[in-house]
């Protein structure tokens, strides 16, 4: 068995392999990939309009740029990522790059602010005009930071970092405090247990949160309880989005948060707790800004042989440093929570800082090397996440197979199961949507909260459906369309299935018609369309923009990859699996953790679109399809015991409008007639269903009224009208 130091050295070797692989891939793409492809991937903006340049609160020269085309393409630019500027000459396919690298300060829609070196040729950039573009660059800084963290952990001796290193890589029992549990009546039993286990942990604790189980709620409560005993804690996550989310929740609890770095979503609320905004709002900042301006002017007007130049410059720099230290001291002294990404925790502002407790959210998505960056500053560690969902991104196949994809959280779960608390009550999904994931990934331990167990949109509806069809009709022509078979686009975009895309939108259009336009808009029913392949995602977005039917609903429809939907949820989810071939090849759909994310995003309705003959050869998808068919048959027999087809009278099942309002509707959306030759059959018994539930228990606007059926008075009125209209009536 290898020692902790040997295991970490092996991790460093694998990380080096990943570094070389990603760097070489970036070089090849830069040389061979055309500009149109880069823009389509979201890795470049072209053309650009250059705005103003200014110095920010960190005394960095920044340049604002605006995207002029392709505003509908989602991009990958976010805070901290390195970028390169280039110019493209007409008639010349080769891009000419400027000899400097900038860093994204923040992005707001089609406006981006980039921090550039003081030596950057701003005049040349502005002179290029609309032939200027910007693209993501290879992130050397993140790798250097991770290498440095691993080196420090490997060489640590006789300190807290060395102790945690040896503890995490062994079966040694983690130390715990012993005290009576604290009651939290607003939490469920497993959430309460998790918070108490966090408080008892001397070394490490893990909160394992399956989808919808309130992991963030539990983590916020644990942070709040820790702050009752400690003056300050550190909170980190792999992505800026995850950091933003937990910062927002902590701020809502009234906790003073200082966010290092800028948020992924730029608005006043998110910016209010960032370091940069707080620094600019300090009363002493105007004085500091004036001194910095004087220093820059003094340097630009320097005279050769000036005797007092250096003395004056040093006095100003000393005064500026004094004010900056005072502002930082006040900001960090007031803050109860210091928040950043894992790599961002190596920021110069945090040099020398120590924290009693470190919280790492979404720890199952982070490389082990990245987790060690903030652990160096902490005495104990609390990790939260779900290793049964999205893994960390590893581009080197060899490094992945050798174990680089194994996270620190997984390692601790294997070595120390006693420090893990599983959250078992979920508050997101209809029970039938949740059950398959619970049985397959969590040994059936996850259950639904009573208030959302039977949540749904339409009465007598199946919460899960699987649609498969090799041939799909073309909606525009009415003729039979092309075979719903997959086709390969590229190694970066993957595969596309145009027939299945048409089927996806046709299915959504049909379901929207059943619900009713007004109800969708009034209740703001939101929809997510997920596909594992980027090519399919972009094709679906194009189709939605072209379809006139979806024009009123575009704001409530989101199309993205599985990774893009991590941490999100929607009322309705459609999943286009794309793969359809005679060989039964499903590619990276074999990564079941991604599918766990995809099938657990839906609150009330999940529709899967895929070729069963292809996907059914894998045991997971075969079991999933069988489970959905079982639900369908069971619900149909239970609700319609006398008529398994589900058709009552001549009207079909009640499927239509907002519960408790208006009239029931037929399958085609028309109102259900009160009289149609013979009285409508009585509605089936509502066995096992609670129709008084609201779609979102905590949101009054979604509250539903009890279902009401045609009463005696309405029925009598309808019969009288029918009799008066009959031939021969007096």
User: What is the tens place of the pLDDT at every residue in 593-639?
Assistant: 999 999 999 999 999 999 999 999 999 999 999 999 998 887 655 55
CA gap 195, 219 in Å, rounded: 8
pLDDT at 638: 55
Q: Give pLDDT, residue 641.
A: 58
CB-count exposure of residue 555 (10 Å: 0-12, 13-18, 19+): exposed
Give which of 371, 409, 420 is closest to 201, Cα–Cα.
420
On whether the CB atoms of residues 631 and 463 are closer than 8 A, the answer is yes
In this predicted structure, what is the pLDDT of residue 73?
Answer: 83
Please state the rounded mean pLDDT for residues 565-582. 93
What mean pLDDT do residues 401-421 have? 95
**Out of 231-240, 429-438, 445-454, 633-642, least confident range:** 633-642
* Among 508, 499, 604, 591, CA closest to 557: 508
pLDDT of residue 598: 96
Phi, psi of 642 (to 5 degrees): -85, -20
Cα angle, residue 610 at apex, residues 574 and 406 outer, rounded to 5°:
80
Residue 58 backbone dihedrals phi, psi, to 5 degrees? -85, 10
Q: How far apart are CA 632 and CA 613, in angstroms?
A: 19
Residue-level pLDDT at 129 = 80
Separation of CA 226 from chain center: 27
Q: What is the mean pLDDT of residues 170-187?
A: 93
Is residue 331 pLDDT above 80, yes or no? yes
40-49, 90-99, 401-410, range with greatest mean pLDDT: 401-410
- How confident is residue 90, by pLDDT bands cut at 50, 70 and 90? confident
End-to-end CA, the chain: 98
- Residue predicted with more confidence, 109 or 116: 116
Say what percent of the chain tops pLDDT 70. Answer: 83
pLDDT for the residue numbered 307: 64
pLDDT digits (tens, 9 = 90+) for 363-380: 999 999 999 999 999 999
Whole-prediction pTM: 0.83
Give rounded-to-5 percent helix, strand, coil for the chain: 40, 20, 40
Instruction: Using alpha carbons, list the distances in angstroms from residue 264 to 220, 271, 336, 686.
Output: 20, 10, 22, 46
CA-atom Rg of the chain in angstroms? 30
Measured between alpha carbons, how far is residue 140 from residues 20, 103, 127, 341 in Å?
Answer: 11, 12, 29, 16
Min mean pLDDT across 23-27, 180-184, 387-391, 683-687 is at: 683-687
| pLDDT mean over 494-523 | 94
Distance separating alpha carbons of residues 274 and 262, to the nearest angstrom: 6
Q: Is the pLDDT of residue 96 over 90?
A: no
Query: Beta strand pairing status for 102-108 and 233-237?
Result: unpaired
Among residues 695, 703, 704, 702, which one has the least CA distance to residue 427?
695
Q: Is residue 495 within 8 Å of 536, Cβ to Cβ?
A: yes
Strand partners, 45: 134
Residue 164 has pLDDT above 70, yes or no: yes
Give the number of other Cβ atoms within 10 Å of residue 98's Cβ.
18
Q: Is the peptide bond before 277 cis (omega within 30 degrees of 0)?
A: no
């Amino acid at each position: 068995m290898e020692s902790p130091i040997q295991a970490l050295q092996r991790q460093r070797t694998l990380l080096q392999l990943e570094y070389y692989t990603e760097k070489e891939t970036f070089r090849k793409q830069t040389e061979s990939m055309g500009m149109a492809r880069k823009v389509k991937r979201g890795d470049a903006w072209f053309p650009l309009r250059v705005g103003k340049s200014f110095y920010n609160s960190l005394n960095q020269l920044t340049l604002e740029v605006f995207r002029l085309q392709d505003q509908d393409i989602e991009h990958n630019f976010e805070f901290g990522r390195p970028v390169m500027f280039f110019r493209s000459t007409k008639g010349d396919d080769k891009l000419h790059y400027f000899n400097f690298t900038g860093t994204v300060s923040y992005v707001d829609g089609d406006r981006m602010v980039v921090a550039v070196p003081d030596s950057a040729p701003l005049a040349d950039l502005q002179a290029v005009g609309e032939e200027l573009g910007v693209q993501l660059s290879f992130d050397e800084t993140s790798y250097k930071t991770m290498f440095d963290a691993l080196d420090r952990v490997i060489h640590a001796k006789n300190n807290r970092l060395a102790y945690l290193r040896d503890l995490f890589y062994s079966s040694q029992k983690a130390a715990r405090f012993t005290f009576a549990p604290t009651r939290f009546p607003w939490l469920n039993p497993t959430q309460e247990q998790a918070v108490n286990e966090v408080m008892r942990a001397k070394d490490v604790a893990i909160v394992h949160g399956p989808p919808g189980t309130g992991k963030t709620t539990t983590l916020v409560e644990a942070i709040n309880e820790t702050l009752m005993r400690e003056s300050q804690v550190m909170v980190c996550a792999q992505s800026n989005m995850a950091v933003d989310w937990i910062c927002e929740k902590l701020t809502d609890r009234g906790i003073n948060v200082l966010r290092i770095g800028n948020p992924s979503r730029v608005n006043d609320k998110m910016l209010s707790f960032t370091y940069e905004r707080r620094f600019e709002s300090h009363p002493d900042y105007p004085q500091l800004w004036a001194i910095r301006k004087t220093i820059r002017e003094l340097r630009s007007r320097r005279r050769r042989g000036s005797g007092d130049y250096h003395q004056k410059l040093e006095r100003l720099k000393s005064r500026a440093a004094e004010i900056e230290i005072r502002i930082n001291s006040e900001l960090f002294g007031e803050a109860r929570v210091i928040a950043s990404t894992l790599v961002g925790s190596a920021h110069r502002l945090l040099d020398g800082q120590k924290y009693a407790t470190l919280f790492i959210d979404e720890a199952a998505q982070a490389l082990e090397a990245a987790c060690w960056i903030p652990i160096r500053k902490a005495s104990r560690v609390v990790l939260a996440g779900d290793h049964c969902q999205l893994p960390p991104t590893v581009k080197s196949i060899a490094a992945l197979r050798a174990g680089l994809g194994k996270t620190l959280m997984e390692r601790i779960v294997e070595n120390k199961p006693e420090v893990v608390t599983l959250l078992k009550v979920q508050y997101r999904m209809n029970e039938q949507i949740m059950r398959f994931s619970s049985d397959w990934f969590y040994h059936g331990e996850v259950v639904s909260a009573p208030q959302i167990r039977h949540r749904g949109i339409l009465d007598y509806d199946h919460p899960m459906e699987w649609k498969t069809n090799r041939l799909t009709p073309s909606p525009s022509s009415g003729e039979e369309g092309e075979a719903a078979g997959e086709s390969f686009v590229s190694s970066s975009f993957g595969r596309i299935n145009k027939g299945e895309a048409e089927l996806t939108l046709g299915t959504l259009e049909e379901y929207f018609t059943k619900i009713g336009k007004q109800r969708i808009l009034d209740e703001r029913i939101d929809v997510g369309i997920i596909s594992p392949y980027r090519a399919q995602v972009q094709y679906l977005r194009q189709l939605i923009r072209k379809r006139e039917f979806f024009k009123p609903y575009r704001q409530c429809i989101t199309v993205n990859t599985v990774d893009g939907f991590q941490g999100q949820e929607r009322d309705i989810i459609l999943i286009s699996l794309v793969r359809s071939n005679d060989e039964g090849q499903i590619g990276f759909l074999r990564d079941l953790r991604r599918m766990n994310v995809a099938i657990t995003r839906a609150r009330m309705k999940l529709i899967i679109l895929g070729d069963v003959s292809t996907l059914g050869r894998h045991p997971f998808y075969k079991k999933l399809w069988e489970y959905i068919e079982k639900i369908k048959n069971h619900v149909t027999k239970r609700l319609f015991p006398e008529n398994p087809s589900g058709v009552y009278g001549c009207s079909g099942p009640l499927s239509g409008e907002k519960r408790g309002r208006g009239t029931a509707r037929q399958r085609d959306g028309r109102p259900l007639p009160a009289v149609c030759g013979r009285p409508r059959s009585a509605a089936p018994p509502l066995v096992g269903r609670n129709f008084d539930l609201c779609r979102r228990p905590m949101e009054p606007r979604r509250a539903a009224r009890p279902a009401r059926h045609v009463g005696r008075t309405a029925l009598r009125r309808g019969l009288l009208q029918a009799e008066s209209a009959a031939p021969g009536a007096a």
